[in-house]
Amino acid sequence: MRLLSLFAIWHLTRFARLAGSIGFALMLTVSASPRLSFAAEPRLLVHYMPWYATKDVSGAWGWHWTMNHFDPEQKKWDDQRKIASHDYPLIGPYDSGDDHALECHALLMKIAGLDGVVIDWYGTSDLNDHAMNHRNTQKFIPWLKKAGLSFAVCYEDQAVKSLKNGEDVKQAQKDLKWAEEHFFADPSYAKQEGRPVLLVFGPQHLKWKFDLGSKPLVFGLAHLVKENGLDGAFAWPPVTGGKSLSPEQWKKELGLIYAQKQPFIATAFPGFKDIYKQAGVHASYGGIASRNGLTLSESLAQALETKSPLIQIATWNDYGEGTMIEPTRNNGFRHLEKLPHCGNPADLRLPVMLYQLRKRGGDATKLDEASTLMFASKFAEAEAILASVSRELGKQVIDGGYHLTTELLYREEPGINAAQNQRCRLDVYAPATKKPFSTVIWFHGGGLTQGERSIPLPLRNQGIAVVSANYRLSPGAKSPAFIEDAAAAIAWTFKHIADFGGDPQRIFVSGHSAGAYLSLMCGLDKQWLAKHGVDADQIAGLIPLSPQVITHFTIRDERGIEETQPIIDDLAPLFHIRKNAPPILLVTGDREKELMGRYEECAYFWRMMKLIGHKATTLHELDGFDHGKMPEPAFPLLLKFVEQTTTDTF
């Protein structure tokens, strides 16, 4: 059973090998397996994990955020808590029992055009965190109903594995009876052929024969369907054996399930990248690359071709295994935008904005009104209310003397598209009383394909303003769209920073990695800012942290050029070196730990700037720091550069 060996040990409670865990029997009469009719328009469900706990809501961080290894109380320089995941929720780590998070999720699912949710359910017992998961499941269902979504459950029969002397069977019977009375009887419960749909992740502990009065259609893992008399199978990301699967491999594995002569629920997924090895839990199950959203598109297309009446996306929010389609720091709303019935992409940011404003203490009455409008699909009216609450919160003093104004649209020209409306936004963190002040414009990294704005922690409470901007990303946007956006954000700052008390003559432009590339392109190639009536020489200083100074690898990839083939053309900062450029502070990580050739690129850039007569280019190499960790020690250099340049110039 190579295809589905993952399923025997899928989660912490799934560590026992399948061969040694099946053996107890829940003997009930089996119903005849149906033949599910094909569907021209299948229902799209998403698998949902209700198991997250945070300190502020539940009193302690739950295992699924920590895995007894990571400490969410610690934050990295980019304001991300240390959690058990390679990615990070766009709204931050949340509690599955928090109504604000559930409201946000339900609204996002509604806008994304999902039909329903399959909730991972551990039953009704008090074992481990099962009672919490059960409560969270019950809390989420009313929000789903409000959004017009159906729901189903996927029962984890391993939840009863620790019970002995027949108590496991009794608990499973109790769980199923409860589900029949409370879930299956609900008008919003997902049904097929008039029968409730029940998924079982296995069965991995019990041999099951179902004879419930409601006659549910029971779907399990493909290799366990026949021996347990289930009605059909559901597919899942086919990782196994710690191997990384190519698109051809995982498509072939799924095709084996879809070719079987039994009913099935097809699957789609964004990729698979678990954190188990790094957390010390066990070896990695393997991996499937996301390919910037292409994996979701292709797995969904394969699922649609099967004509299965039900498609399950794996998953909304399994951060431990890296299968999330919910908005994250790395991928933004990319995966939701790829769903066939997604609404206006610009509207997807509104539930996130609602959640963030609630957590900042925004006017509850107004935010409740905005929520009601969104559930009624009146997004323009809701956005106006959210914007007004954001403006009011921008007047509050935080960090002992700063204002934070968020979600400001910097593309001010008429006729912007939905992608610009969603991504072309910035936040302003500025001193409340000290005026005038210097400003650092900060562009996030992420290879021009991913990333999300934040106010870097080392730049807070430093007597300066920070303008942190998003920009459109590849492959949804092609070059030079991201440069155009960065230039528009810089121009917006020149036009508006005085409104916050800043000095337009003391604007510095910085960023990390891809953001550093953008800062150099806008500061050296004067055409981009000139389109907005700004002379690039007005910038007080450029502070790129580990930039690509040749043509960026993502732009080369757009052209079909290998990453190892260097190109220097008009989209390379190195192409635009000039004597009269603003002062430049270049910082890289250790040349032996950096991305390939990154230090050497920057060293060549530094040398060429010197040769053409630029007297204010400085290069620092941070020994012992790799590409991702180098910003932390670079920020003191950035602040010193801002202070010194300001003193020398003004």
Catalytic sites, residue numbers: 513
CA end-to-end span of the chain? 71
Range 67-72 contact pairs with CB under 8 angstroms and sequence separation of 24 or more: 67/275, 67/276, 67/279, 67/280, 67/281, 67/320, 68/279, 68/280, 69/278, 69/279, 69/280, 69/281, 70/279
Both tokens of 184, joined, read 């299956």
User: How far is residue 277 from each of residues 52, 76, 86, 317, 498, measured CA to CA in Å?
Assistant: 20, 21, 12, 19, 49
In total, the chain counts a number of residues equal to 650
Answer yes or no: are the C-beta atoms of 590 and 623 closer than 8 Å: yes
Structure tokens belonging to residue 443: 């562009």
- E-state strands within 348-420: 402-409
DSSP β-ladder status, 195-200 and 191-192: antiparallel
Task: Determine if residue 99 is left, alpha or beta; phi over 0 gives left, psi from -120 to 50 gives alpha, anything else beta.
Answer: alpha
Q: List, in order, residues 6 or more apart from 66 with CB less than 8 Å away.
A: 72, 83, 84
Dist. CA 460–CA 628, nearest whole Å: 20
Structure tokens at 506: 């003391």
Is the distance from CB of 308 to CB of 42 less than 8 angstroms? yes
Return the H-helix or E-strand segment holding 245. Answer: strand 243-245
